[in-house]
Amino acid sequence: MADAAFHRRTLLKGGLAATVIGGVAAPSALARPTGTARASVEAPQIYGTTEWGARPPNGEIIVEDHAPTYIVVHHTVEPGNSEDFSKERAFEISRAIQNFHMDSNGWVDSGQQFTNSRGGYVTEGRHRSLEVLQGGTQHVQGANVANHNSEVIGIENEGNYVETEVPQALWDSLVQLVACMASQYGIPVEQIMGHRDFNSTQCPGDVLYARLPELREEVAGILGTPAPTSRPQWPLLRVGDRGESVRTAQRLLRKQGVKIPADGYYGPRTAEAVDAFAAEHGVPRHTCTAAAHANEHGLLGADIWPLIVTGERSTAEWKASLQR
Ligand SMILES: [Zn+2]
């Protein structure tokens, strides 16, 4: 396709491929962190906002003068996973997400920087995200991880991966895109995260979230960097859960004055108390950019734990102790 050739050229011109192939130092590589391993990274084809027919943003696109710290994986939680793996579908969801974010959420543009379709087509989300990624030194502020939008570059993956397997095409393009971002910005693979590592949300779904260690490993393989060490994250507790982590959370909440039994059962009463606790502490709920989120009530995750754990252990010790 003619447009494929166009994109490849655009990327090369922008320095994306040129600066990441084989450690060859192109001029634009000079601005990036030194000492970072350079390996051969094939830049993915990314369709810009013009290609998929984006509306113009209705406000200022903020470009911050620093690289993002984390790469964040989301899922879009479509009602039913589409079997349409075409490029047209990728363009269609890009438009649908942008419309939703601008018309329903009142945002200036798409919340995510990039979108990855089930057919493995990658599109630019928020305007300027592609050129800024090509530059490798700046960050387009998005709206996809509450309270962390200056730190994260987010990828919306089409579909719902709470229970469903990830299509191979989506996986392959995700690996490629994340490797490209990590290389462009010198982001360590340990800083490839899921949305739930920041907010109390199921996003990117249990199935895709469980594959993040594999994603980090594959990206490390592409970049030629050492295999990542696994770091425990805050667990996500939800209605129906039972066990020691639930009991610990209940005990910690009780210390904060929340009136719930420490019975190790995460029932509706605990869930309601957690929602109230979140509201009291100004923690945003239902924070994903996804169009619709089911079963997002009463979640206790990465933004609640730090408010309830005590100083008797470090954060890392708490995280390690809460793994079941
Ligand atoms: Zn999300």
Distance 125 CA to ligand 1 centre (A): 14
What confidence tens digit (pLDDT) does each residue in 135-194 have? 999 999 999 999 999 999 999 999 999 999 999 999 999 999 999 999 999 999 999 999
Distance 318 CA to ligand 1 centre (A): 24
**pLDDT confidence of residue 66:** 98
Specify whether the CB–CB gap between 299 and 278 falls below 8 A: no
CATH number of the domain located at residue range(s) 3-223 in this protein:
3.40.80.10
Residue 243 sits at φ, ψ, to 5 deg, of 135, -175
Range in 51-55, 142-146, 286-290, 314-318 with the lowest mean pLDDT: 286-290
Domain limits, the chain:
3-223, 244-321
Q: Cα(6) to centroid of ligand 1, in Å? A: 31
**What separation in Å is there between the alpha carbon of 158 and the centre of ligand 1?**
11
pLDDT over threshold 60, residue 20 = no
Q: Which amino acid is at 42?
A: E
Query: d(Cα 33, Cα 196) in Å, to the nearest integer?
Result: 28
Distance between Cα 106 and ligand 1 center (Å): 17
| pLDDT on residue 324 | 58
For the entire predicted model, the pTM comes to 0.87
Which pLDDT belongs to residue 231?
Answer: 87
| Distance from Cα 259 to the centre of ligand 1, integer Å | 30
User: What's the whole-number mean pLDDT along residues 106-124?
Assistant: 98
29 pLDDT above the threshold of 50:
no
- Tell how far the Cα of 204 is from the centroid of ligand 1, in angstroms: 6
CA of 151 to the centre of ligand 1 (A): 15
- Which of 5, 37, 38 lies closest to 19, judged by CA? 38
Which among 181, 214, 180, 210 has a CA at the least distance from the CA of 196?
210
Task: Output the CA 198–ligand 1 centroid distance in Å.
Answer: 10
How far apart are the CA of 315 and the centre of ligand 1, in A? 23
The yes-or-no verdict on residue 256 having pLDDT over 70 is: yes
